[in-house]
Amino acid sequence: MHTNPTYTSLVAVGDSFTEGMSDLLPDGTYRGWADLLAARMAARTPGFRYANLAVRGKLIRQIVDEQVDVAAAMGADVITLVGGLNDTLRPKCDMVRVRALLEEAVEKLAPACRQLVLMRSPGRQGPVLERFRPRMEELFACVDELAARHGAIVVDLYGAPSLADPRMWDVDRLHLTGEGHRRIAEAVWQALGYEPEDTEWRTPMPTTLPPGWVMRRAADLRFARQHLLPWIGRRLTGRSSGDGLPPKRPELLPYEDRA
């Protein structure tokens, strides 16, 4: 349903997904779906303001401690919250604690804005993440329950066939490409009631011939060496890719395009 909304501000809360990895800009920074969404909302509304507090690698406890109160105090029309998925990928994950922290975040953010947006995060096809899917789906069930209780919108990316396509994912197999982020921006845009610009965002890309066995195995080895092993190392040592990094747009200011 399209309602011609009049939102004047957006605050994005979360981890690398919302920071924009891996929609890389020429200057080495990340853009991502939240920046793309803000640009489109700003084009509709003069003086539109935007903040992005998301930082890669953050667990739901860190999101609650470092971002939620800041976002709630900004008084934005729209707040997006995506978090908890990094927790589900940890070897030892206490889902009771994750659900409780997500509930705490929603209870603070929902009354602090006109519209809270939650998401069921996309899932890439492939064997690496299969062992984590039960936890992911438990997280998404919690998202659905909290949204129903607090009047939040849920954007179902997990059920979108297009976003399961490995071609939508970067070589690290954890973060989306620019095209993946573009489709997510469209999904949230429509969920907020704006007129669609791409009615086919859920539609998979045209089928192409897969690479041969040798190329697939070479890609698997590169992935393991460059991404999987370092990721496992960080998990085992308690380090994060976002340690020491500030949010890219920490203040709710008039939107300006940095591309």
As a whole number of angstroms, the distance between CA 253 and CA 51 comes to 7
Closest by CA to 83, choosing from 3, 13, 164, 187, is 13
As a whole number of angstroms, the distance between CA 213 and CA 237 comes to 34
Q: Does domain 9-210+247-254 have CATH number 3.30.230.80?
A: no
Contact 184, 176 (CB under 8 A): yes
Res 214 pLDDT > 80: no
Q: Higher confidence at residue 119 or residue 24?
A: 119
Contact 136, 88 (CB under 8 A): yes
| Domain range annotation of the chain | 9-210+247-254
pLDDT level of residue 257 (50, 70, 90 thresholds): confident
In this predicted model, what pLDDT tens digit does every residue of 161-196 receive, in sequence order? 999 998 898 878 689 999 999 999 999 999 999 999
pTM of the model: 0.88
